[in-house]
Structure 1
């Protein structure tokens, strides 16, 4: 089992560094100090190996995100905790999750179909959180969730180390997304003609002449 775990770690680093297509079974075996044919004693195929590594990375990320959300009950607080942990994972230079996930487009179609199912399972975390948010009726929750995940998943392309921490970035993202939700609610109310009820004032007392 320890030998197989070592092979998984070596393969994960190679996939992350060189990509799925450019990483061969032979190279994985050489890094592991064994013959190419001997590697098949521990794995079924390159495709199966990549799927296992991909799934393990997502499972580990899911556990971390759920643990980060656990202390919170308010929907917005849970979303902020999830976004913070997601960014911690994505922006950690030692993390293999992002490079492995970025290999998605280079894998064979039959492998891609399996990866999609796992990603859908992972995204259930954010689907559940977004469904619990107090969003206005006119705001499409699916689009809201997709935009949020796209922003989180591409963080490595726009993040500049040292300016803001992952927690500070998550707070900024939540501020923007809450503002957009509030703006959508205001537009919806204006369009439907609904307004907040005016404040009632207590009747003035008349002075009685002495």
Structure 2
């Protein structure tokens, strides 16, 4: 039986060198995030940027909901892949990081595709409950992941996609000795999704792990 390759730093650099090239403003966001200390871990990986770009292109996605924006790397990665008439509604509760993200969106000439809502995500989701999306990307507070997932299914167009970040949680989901509330929350979500008959799904080891769900 074949197994996944162990990705070393050297091999990761090779993959990124030979993959989809980053937009200059994506690079600026990454450089900015490096100055943030521990909070830089909230950024998605470059491989995830590339994956989101490809998913949007091949699925011909036009309308995206993002739950959790941080400084805007994932948002911009998706906006760049959208057609000119495409749009993203980006939810985040942090006004300061959102201001920074909006500056990057404008600098990349993608701000016309992006509408931000600055509130706790569950409140924002209630305010857009009558809208429909082709893709929902979840990357926010982990304790509410299952709530976001359930609401997202109701907001999707037929055969729409939900993509959830951090599903491998630094590898801690498989460590039986780690049982903090965040790890348990991710484990519970993964178990729930694995049994959910409403969708078909695949878990991919990009970044901190992503689960892609397609509504049946």
TM-score tier, shorter chain, comes to: under 0.3
State TM-score, norm by structure 1: 0.24
Give the structure with the larger helix fraction: 1
Which protein has greater RCO, CA pairs closer than 8 Å, 6+ apart? 1
Give the structure with the larger strand fraction: 2
